[in-house]
């Protein structure tokens, strides 16, 4: 369930005058001035994918290959089973990097640590329509031909 505060941020952003271009950092400062915290603002920005198209950041080649390692902060609140499940979803190409981040952020926001595998599956089901029941770590990636 999306937080009411995040919905308010989304409403605020959507109500901005489309003729007036603003940097995301300026919008973030305005939202912080209205009492929203950085986590809530990042969640809303991710939902709108703000900054992704205009970013000058060149992705790491490992990220392009589908390799992904969870950082210490990401692993902190997740059970080992949940970590493995998320890594497999990403490795198999079932979730995008943005979806993975949203699942991890929402897990920290909605559940007490350590977040269980079932709780992560519940969150993943919100973002992936055709989520498989079982993620086999030995399965081929979706973009690789089956032999």
Cα–Cα distances in angstroms (integers) from residue 10 to residues 6, 18, 32, 104, in the given order? 6, 14, 14, 20
SS3 60: coil
pLDDT tens digit sequence for 25-34 = 788 899 999 9
Q: pTM of this prediction?
A: 0.51
Measured between its terminal Cα atoms, the distance across the chain in Å is 41
Which pLDDT belongs to residue 145? Answer: 45
In tens, the pLDDT along 79-100 reads 999 999 998 888 888 888 888 8
Burial degree of 44 (CB within 10 A; 0-12, 13-18, 19+): buried
Six token digits for residue 77: 């609140």
Compute the distance between CA of residue 56 and CA of residue 127 in angstroms, rounded to an integer. 27
């Amino acid at each position: 369930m999306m937080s009411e505060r995040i919905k308010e941020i989304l409403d605020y952003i959507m109500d901005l005058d489309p003729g007036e271009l603003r940097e995301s950092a300026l919008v973030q400062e305005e939202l912080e001035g209205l009492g929203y915290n950085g986590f809530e603002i990042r969640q809303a920005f991710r939902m709108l994918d703000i900054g992704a198209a205009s970013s000058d950041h060149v992705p790491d080649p490992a990220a392009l290959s589908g390799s992904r390692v969870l950082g210490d902060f990401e692993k902190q609140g997740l059970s080992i089973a949940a970590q493995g499940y998320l890594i497999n979803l990403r490795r198999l190409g079932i979730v995008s990097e943005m979806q993975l981040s949203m699942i991890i952020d929402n897990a920290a926001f909605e559940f007490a640590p350590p977040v269980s595998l079932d709780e992560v599956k519940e969150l993943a089901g919100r973002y992936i329509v055709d989520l498989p029941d079982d993620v086999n770590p030995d399965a081929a990636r979706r973009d690789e031909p089956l032999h």
